[in-house]
């Protein structure tokens, strides 16, 4: 298994106005994170202008969608926005996309967009990536695919630069090992080129915030009982050691955390980034 170097991202959304958002982006960069990532949904500000502001406020920080809900835009529109941001950030944008969480169905309806079947939504994700590649020409905007099921893992294996393993909240180590194996099998000769990513819902030993418990449908004790890979327990040394074990087990090297853990997780970033 190829061993990519560790890098880290923060999933965060704007609060307040431009100055506050720019300060957040600068802090993310200052702490050594590789990427500022933003989710997608009508309850939030639009990710593309938000990420443009974050990129302008920093010098080397990458920005990315984590992830676009495919049904909210036509493939051509998603590609157009992604290519534009790639150009304007001079290559510091990562195009993250997936088929959308179930909650996104209401957003699609509000936008007058069809939700479609799972297969139709995945085809639109594939078409969005094809359209982006067409617009890019000689440019190469890195693409991250959120992949959970076999077909999404197969798509990521064929076309993604990065694949985030979108496992259920209670999925344990063996589940992630199996997902990564499916991804590499689908990738074939390009398996070593794909960066495997995962998102952590909680880190450390404190109880999980109520909004996070509601989002994932589980409290900390339940996550611990299932060896959930969305939880990274312990102090900085223990968390770093566990991430090394996870990289050995299934190749994950690109790790993102929620913005509420920005400062708490920074010592782990300092220990592992680039190693």
User: DSSP labels for 131-151?
Assistant: HHHHHHTT----EEEEE-SHH
**Alpha carbon distance, N-terminus to C-terminus of the chain:** 16
Residue among 210, 240, 214 nearest 8 (CA): 240
Residue among 231, 241, 222, 219 nearest 261 (CA): 231
Region of 261 (left: φ > 0; alpha: ψ -120 to 50; beta: rest) is alpha
Torsion of CA 6, 145, 85, 69, to 10 degrees: -130
Region of 5 (left: φ > 0; alpha: ψ -120 to 50; beta: rest) is beta
**Cα(87)–Cα(125) distance, rounded to whole angstroms?**
21
- Which class does domain 7-272 fall in? alpha beta
| Three-state DSSP state, 31 | coil
In the chain, where are the structural domains located? 7-272
- The secondary structure element, H or E, covering residue 80 is helix 75-88
Residue 231 DSSP label: E
Beta-carbon contacts of 24 under 8 Å, excluding residues fewer than 6 positions away, are: 12, 14, 15, 36, 54, 259
pLDDT at position 61 is 98
Residue 21 DSSP label: H
pTM: 0.97
pLDDT at position 49 is 98
Residue 50: φ, ψ to 5° = -65, -45
Each residue's pLDDT tens digit in the chain (275 positions)? 558 999 999 999 999 999 999 999 999 999 999 999 999 999 999 999 999 999 999 999 999 999 999 999 999 999 999 999 999 999 999 999 999 999 999 999 999 999 999 999 999 999 999 999 999 999 999 999 999 999 999 999 999 999 999 999 999 999 999 999 999 999 999 999 999 999 999 999 998 888 888 888 899 999 999 999 999 999 999 999 999 999 999 999 999 999 999 999 999 999 999 99
pLDDT at position 1 is 59
**Cα(108)–Cα(200) distance, rounded to whole angstroms?**
26
Residue 272: φ, ψ to 5° = -110, -25
CB 177 within 8 A of CB 249: yes
């Amino acid at each position: 298994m190829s061993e990519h170097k560790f890098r880290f991202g923060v999933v965060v959304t704007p609060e307040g106005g431009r100055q506050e958002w720019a300060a957040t982006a600068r802090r993310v960069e200052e702490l050594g994170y590789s990427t500022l990532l933003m989710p997608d949904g009508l309850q939030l500000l639009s990710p593309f202008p938000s990420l443009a502001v974050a990129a302008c406020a920093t010098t080397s920080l990458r920005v990315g969608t984590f992830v676009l809900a495919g049904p909210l835009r036509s493939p051509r529109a998603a590609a157009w926005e992604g290519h534009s941001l790639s150009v304007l950030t001079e290559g510091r944008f990562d195009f993250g996309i997936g088929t959308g969480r179930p909650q996104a169905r209401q957003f699609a309806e509000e936008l007058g967009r069809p939700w479609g079947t799972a297969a139709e939504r995945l085809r639109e994700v594939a078409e969005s990536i094809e359209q982006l590649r067409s617009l890019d020409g000689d440019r190469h905007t890195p693409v991250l695919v959120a992949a959970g099921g076999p077909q999404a893992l197969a798509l990521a294996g064929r076309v993604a630069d990065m694949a985030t393993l979108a496992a259920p909240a209670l999925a344990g180590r063996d589940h992630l090992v199996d997902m990564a194996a499916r991804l590499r099998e689908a990738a074939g000769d390009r398996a070593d080129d794909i960066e495997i990513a995962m998102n952590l819902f909680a880190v450390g030993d404190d109880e999980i915030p109520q909004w996070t418990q509601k989002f994932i449908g589980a409290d900390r004790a339940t996550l611990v009982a299932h060896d959930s890979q969305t939880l990274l327990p312990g102090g900085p040394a223990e968390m770093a050691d566990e991430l090394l074990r996870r990289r050995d087990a299934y190749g994950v090297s690109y790790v993102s955390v929620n913005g509420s853990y920005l400062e708490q997780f920074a010592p782990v970033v300092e220990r592992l980034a680039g190693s």
